[in-house]
Chain A
Amino acid sequence: MSKEMTCIVCPLGCHLTLEPEGESFAVSGNKCQRGKKYAIEEMIAPKRVITSTVAVDGGSYPVISVKTQAAVPKELIFEVMEDLSAVMMKAPVQVGDVVIANVRDTGVDVIATRNA
């Protein structure tokens, strides 16, 4: 049975069609290879990049923005959010500084996306 989905990799939002093909899927409608990777991942183990904020002491604002450096399993989103709420960074912080290393054993770091 074929499945349709909208690619969320970039704002182009390609309309994807997946057809079962052996153990995996044949993807059509994608304008780039990342779309194919996304579609198959979405069927097997959906992942998302998480963007949020953490508290910072001594910055020009009380929080700074952060992101997971790569997509992490979707079901861990709220656990990662819980970890982030416990963080208090100390200024100065540079873009790219690690906020939480290997968050929830995903092998992915949470990094700052803003200076403080």
Chain B
Amino acid sequence: MLKYELVVVGGGPAGLSAAVEAYEQGVRKILILERDKELGGILNQCIHNGFGLHRFKEELTGPEYSLRYIDLLKDTTIETLTDTMVLEISEEKVVRAISAERGYMEIEAEAVVFSMGCRERTRGAIQLQGDRPAGVFTAGTAQRFINMEGYMPGKRVVILGSGDIGLIMARRMTFEGAKVEAVCELMPYSNGLTRNIVQCLDDYEIPLMLSHTIVKVHGKSRVEGVTIAKVDENLRPIPETYRRIDCDTVLLSVGLIPENEITQNAGIAVDPRTSGPKVGELRQTEMEGVFACGNVVHVHDLVDFVSEEGVLSGRGVAKYLKGELETTSNFSTANGEGIGYVVPQTVNMSNVDDQVTFYMRVRSVYDRHIVRAYLGDTLVAEKKERKFLPAEMVNFKIKKDILSNLADGEIRFVVEEV
């Protein structure tokens, strides 16, 4: 049987960064398994720029960002297998995978990193009503068609959901000659970054219709139009506002779900708040020697932080293989008022270098508020922002000195008025 110190499941930004960091920490027998025909993951279809400002201090496109990491592999002993699908991981950390070239294979791993990323919610996931013609795509599928496969999916477009991919695709389809009629967003606020609303919609006078949804898709073999409606405060469509828009294409940008079938089959529980495995400060899961990082743990909005999590899990793997990874924890984290989730879910201080970054999302838009961390009634730390938005992940850093002075327990994060 093939034997490796570390097997990485998924060769996108999280997996690449985890493998490179583990290598830098002295791990030598590393294998990355990737199901697409090349490394880089979803970045390969994200041809717009804006990646890497934190990580590389310059503005790169997605393919350029992933190539930086792929190039780093060249000077290492890290091996890669593309066009290879991981089927499952056994309790003994035997990785079962399949590829057209090699057929079925079993690989014995001392440590595993899960970096499978996430996938888009589909028409079925949101129970979009109406006919079922061709022409309804997730935004990411359309993105791959245009940016990699060289196909144009349609000419007149309505986009449902204002996630970043939807906004980016509104601009991209406009560039390629399509007319984007509208972007409908169910919530009264956008789910995308403000800069994307400015540079992808406002620049091209594409209307963003907040508190609107598509109630029906029309069309026999191809989409012919949609009926849209305004929704009330309970998100229910208001019949008096029904209006038809003619179009041949509907793009859905209605959220992402971490892809955790392999995780769950391995017996690792998924946290309902994140839809990802519970992880510790070095992204260790509840299964010994198994780590997880990036969008498989929770959906990020910036790849830079995906890479950062990859680094953490790479360090964790190296520590684990040396037998130095502490498995107990000093702190658990909890999401209090206004906070949807917190990652990591546990912290062991002996694995912390100088600080812990807690990632979290607020549940709705908060102006003039502050996020505070409490242990019992004791205020541990606080984080101010001009505005907290559900679309923008909060990075809450707490110094090791502060955490070291606390008794073990639960750190609770809450949004409070200033």
Q: Which residues of A are interface residues toward B (Cβ below 8 A)?
A: 5-11, 13, 15, 48-53, 55, 60-63, 65, 67, 74, 77-78, 81, 95, 113-115
Contact = CB atoms under 8 A, between A and B. Distances in A.
B175 A113 contact: no
A60 B37 contact: yes
Contacts of A74: 203
A78 B148 CA distance: 21
12 contacts: A6-B197, A9-B59, A10-B195, A11-B50, A13-B195, A51-B47, A61-B148, A63-B149, A77-B175, A95-B63, A113-B61, A114-B44
A12 to B, nearest CB: 8
A50 B200 CA distance: 12
A65 B149 contact: no
B61 A11 contact: no
B67 A7 contact: no
B379 interface: no
Contacts of A6: 194-195, 197-198
A7 B195 contact: yes
B47 A52 contact: yes
A81 B197 CA distance: 21
A95 B67 contact: yes
B147 A48 contact: no
Contacts of B147: 53, 63, 65
Interface of B: 37-38, 44, 47-50, 53, 59, 61-64, 67, 146-150, 175-176, 193-195, 197-199, 203, 301-302, 386-387
A81 B62 CA distance: 20
Nearest to A68: B49
A81 to B, nearest CB: 5
Contacts of A63: 147-150
Among A13, A49, A51, residue most surrounded by chain B Cβ atoms (within 10 Å): A51
Among B62, B64, B176, residue most surrounded by chain A Cβ atoms (within 10 Å): B64
A53 B47 contact: yes
Contact of A65 (B47, B53, B175, B176): B47
A10 B149 contact: no
A69 to B, nearest CB: 11
Given A52-B175, A65-B47, A95-B67, 4 more contacts: A7-B195, A11-B302, A49-B59, A114-B44
Given A49-B49, A74-B203, A5 B302 contact: no
A55 B175 CA distance: 15
A10 B63 contact: no
A10 B60 CA distance: 11
A8 B198 contact: yes
A22 B384 CA distance: 34
B63 A114 contact: yes
Contacts, number: 79
A55 to B, nearest CB: 7
Given A60-B37, A67-B49, A114-B63, A48 B199 contact: yes
Contacts of B37: 60
A74 B147 CA distance: 21
A43 B67 CA distance: 35
Contacts of B48: 51
A18 B199 CA distance: 18
A8 B63 contact: no
A61 B47 contact: no
Contacts of A5: 198
A51 B62 CA distance: 11
Contacts of B50: 10-11
B61 A62 contact: no
Listed from nearest, the 8 A-B pairs whose CB atoms lie closest are A65-B47, A62-B150, A63-B150, A13-B195, A114-B63, A8-B195, A113-B61, A13-B194
B153 to A, nearest CB: 14
A60 B47 contact: no
Contacts of A52: 47, 175-176
A60 B150 contact: no
B1 to A, nearest CB: 31
A11 B301 contact: yes
Contacts of A51: 47-49, 61
Given A11-B193, A53-B47, A95-B67, A48 B203 contact: yes
Nearest to B202: A6
A77 B203 CA distance: 11
Given A10-B50, A51-B49, A60 B38 contact: yes
A60 B38 CA distance: 10
Given A11-B302, A74-B203, A113-B64, A53 B146 contact: yes
Nearest to A96: B64
B46 to A, nearest CB: 9
B64 to A, nearest CB: 5
Contacts of A77: 175
A6 B44 CA distance: 27
